[in-house]
Structure 1
Amino acid sequence: MNKIWLAACLVAISGGCATTKDWAATGGSRSDGVVRLSYTQGEFESVTVNESQGIDLATRRCATWGYTGAEAFGGVTKQCNQMGGFGGCANWTITKEFQCLGEGNAQSTGARVENITVPAQTTPSQQGMQWKPKGSFKKE
């Protein structure tokens, strides 16, 4: 009985370690104005998430797309990455979506975009040329 009590205490002590996690950009869509941020959490980890770091990261990502800000959609999704030994999940990925705010610019990449004129291209038949099997062109 003492061995079971000792084992339970060790699990409770090791599982109670709180860690602070930062969000990382893991996806999104420029045209939809959506940014996905995620972090991972172990089976016995107690996680505190830095929410202000997440909104700052989402706002910066949206700004590179020409938007003026970002706000969280609401809830989070949890996906199991690795099954545990007793049927539970040993490692989770937690993802939160953020909506970009303002008028986005589909061409904005954080750098200046200039209009470039590309000359029209013509094929040999449009130029009055005929293709020959030897790889040369002959004017008709």
Structure 2
Amino acid sequence: MKRLCTVGLVLLLAGCGITRKAEVSSVDVTSGIVRLDYGQPIFQTSHDDAYITNATATRECQAIGYSAATAYGQPVETCSVISGSLCLNSTLTVQYQCHGYAPRPAVTTSAYY
């Protein structure tokens, strides 16, 4: 009976989908690439909120002079915590390509005397 409960609990946890907030991990100004990471613990299915992740990437792109960001490729999964041969936590990396030109506002230094 105990074994059946354990198997049931593992199957229940394996079906859970958790939304994670992706954090900026790197910005390559030269190529206009923004990478965002989020974690995925063992027995869980994590995903990012595409709208929030896109807004975060766009904000980073605008900070380096581009106007927007577009996701490309599939998330890259890397094991970040290993115990023996078992991966206990993975890091998923989502990549965005910056595009468009965002003109910087002109700074005026006129003084009224």
TM range (shorter): 0.7 to 0.9
Whole-angstrom distance in 2 between the partners of 1:82 and 1:21:
18
Whole-angstrom distance in 2 between the partners of 1:53 and 1:98:
13
Residues 1:95 and 2:93 aligned together: yes
Residues 1:4 and 2:6 aligned together: no
User: Structure 1: which 5+ residue stretches go unaligned?
Assistant: 113-140
- SS for the counterpart of 1:75 is strand
Whole-angstrom distance in 2 between the partners of 1:89 and 1:25:
23
Q: Deviations over 1:72-128 (max 9, x none)?
A: 11211110011145x2211000001100011378xx8xxx7xxxxxxxxxxxxxxxx
- Provide the residue aligned with 1:20 in structure 2: 19
| Aligned pairs for 1:103-122 within 5 A | 103=101
Query: Normalising to structure 2: TM-score of the pair?
Result: 0.81
User: Structure 2: which 5+ residue stretches go unaligned?
Assistant: 108-113
Give the 4+ runs in structure 1 shifted more than 4 A. Answer: none
Number of equivalenced pairs? 106
Compare CA radii of gyration and give the structure with the larger one.
1
| Distance verdict in 2 for CA 1:84–1:17, change over 3 Å | farther
- SS for the counterpart of 1:90 is strand
Is the 8 Å Cα contact of residues 39 and 46 (structure 2) preserved in structure 1?
no
| Aligned pairs for 1:39-50 within 5 A | 39-50=38-49
Is the 8 Å Cα contact of residues 79 and 90 (structure 2) preserved in structure 1?
yes
**How many percent of aligned residue pairs carry the same amino acid?**
30
